[in-house]
Structures are given as C-alpha cells and as structure tokens.
Amino acid sequence: MRSNWGEIVALAVVLALGLTVTNNWAGEPLRIYSVKNMAAEVEKLGKEFTARNPETPVVVTGGVPAGGFAAFAAGHHDILICPEGQLDSSKLSVGPGFQLTHAPVGSYGMAIIVSPTLAVSQLTLDDVRKLYAGECTNWSQLGGPNEPTKVYSREPNAGATVYMRTIFLGGANMAASVRALPFDKQIVEEISKSTGSVGYIRVNRVAGANVKVLALKKDANSSGVAPTEENIRNRSYPLTVVLEANWNGASNKVPTIRSFVDFCKQNDFGLK
C-alpha cells in the first residue's frame, strides 16, 4: 500500500506541475524517424497502429535526412523511414552489434509539373537531369517552344531534393540557376503563374493545383508513363520512390518493429 500511495502522490505532483506523464509500465514507445515530406503519413499510420495495439505508443519525428540518419545510428530512433538507397550505411557510425536491417514499406510518385500553358506533355529522365543540371536553359532544347526555362526545387536538405540529386546528379548540387523554395505549395504557386516553369512535388499533392503533370520516359525510345496510382503501384512510372524502413536487427524491439513494418505494407503507405 505504501508503494501505491507513493505512486499516487508522484503522479499528483507531475500533473500539478503540468509535466508529461510517461507510461513506462505500458511498454516503451516505438520511436520512428521519417524524412519530413512523409512524416504526416507516418504519424497517421502510427496512430492507427497504436489504436490496434494500445500497449505500443508510436512517437514520430520528421526532419531532414542527415540529422535523422545520425540520430538513428546513435540509437535514438527504432525505425528510420526514407527513400530506398538514400541511407548510406557505409557512412553510419554505429556501435558493435548493430545489425542494419531494412525492407520496402511503400511507394509514391514524384511528379514533374510545368506551367499549364507550356506546350510540353512529356520528358525523358535525361531531359529532367539536364534541367536540374543547368544544361537546358530554353525549352526549344527539349523539343518545346522558344521559352526560357525556370526551374524550381525544394530546399537543398529536403528529402525530396536529396532524392532528386541522387537520382539525376549523382549526389551533386543542382545548378545555381535552380530556385529553391521551402514548401511544395510555393512551388505549385510559382509554376501555376509562370510560363516556362518546371518543378517537382509528390503526386498526391497535385490534386486541385493549376499545373500540368508530365508523363515521363525512361529514354528516348520508351513510351511516356503518367504517374497514376496503378503505375506507381506496379512501379512502371520512372520516378516511383520506393520507401524503405531501416532498423537495428539486434534490437529487443524487433517483433514490434516488424509488426509496424507489415502494417505499413498492408496500408499502401505512400499511396494515400
């Protein structure tokens, strides 16, 4: 009884001071780090997972890749979710016994969008590379009208930008002429009103926007593929981003981690 009374008094003090109560006896939380542009979806899945598994609260942190990768390697997060291939395991500083394990958990499409008045309907992947490398300064170089290009991106440390640099530029920086904006909605706004403009955003953020979404071709001899949900699901769309969950295979939370990973797969993570 004395122990129970002590717990009651301690709880009363915590509540009186307005502090957060950590429910240690209900199980440790599952700590997840996600690149910022996926954090809202991860958080939603976390709440749904906890609703079905009340003993496992899920805590989601969203941010830029570099900081999250370092925190994950240091053991501050149980799962790290990012585009496949973005985590360079050779650069992780991990302790002995750390067993990097990963599995795909979902996918989404990266849409290439242009001004609705631009007379261009499709590009090859190399065309996109040339735009962000600064090699094309006029749409006539890509078979379009005699119109200067205006190229937009997210800020340099954003997950989407890291992905685009990795895919198209081998990790190198984009051309100095590329204008970086902090939010997708700003890119949409600029492109909707600026002839000759081009940028990238996630496909599920295009709905209702006054922009044109381009079909993409793997090369000059391929057919253009639109970023529909079906083409993203079957990965025929060239800019399909495969999402990967990474975790320490030696963690004592592996059963719970695998349960959450399976939950992501079952709920078409990224396609919502």
Q: What is the pLDDT of residues 6-59, one digit of tens each?
A: 333 333 322 333 333 333 334 689 999 998 888 999 999 999 999 999 999 999
Averaged pLDDT for residues 60-78: 89
Q: Is residue 16 part of a domain?
A: no
Count how many domains the chain has.
2
CATH number of the domain encompassing residue 99: 3.40.190.10
Q: Do 236 and 256 fall within a single domain?
A: no
pLDDT of residue 28: 86
* 100, 246 contact by CB (below 8 A): yes
Torsion on CA atoms 237, 170, 41, 260, rounded to nearest 10: 100
Q: Do 132 and 73 fall within a single domain?
A: no
Q: Do 178 and 248 fall within a single domain?
A: no
Nearest Cα to 152, choosing from 110, 191, 116? 191
Q: Do 134 and 185 fall within a single domain?
A: yes
pLDDT of residue 202: 92
For residue 104, how many C-alpha atoms fall within 13 Å in the half-sphere facing its CB?
Answer: 12
> Which residue carries 């500083």 as its tokens?
93
Domain that holds residue 199: 108-240
Q: Is residue 247 part of a domain?
A: yes
Q: Do 56 and 91 fall within a single domain?
A: yes
pLDDT of residue 27: 67
pTM of the model: 0.80
Q: Is residue 9 part of a domain?
A: no
**Which tens digit of pLDDT belongs to each residue from 188-220?**
999 999 899 999 999 988 988 999 999 999 999
pLDDT of residue 14: 28
Q: Do 262 and 139 fall within a single domain?
A: no
Torsion on CA atoms 123, 126, 132, 135, rounded to nearest 10: -110
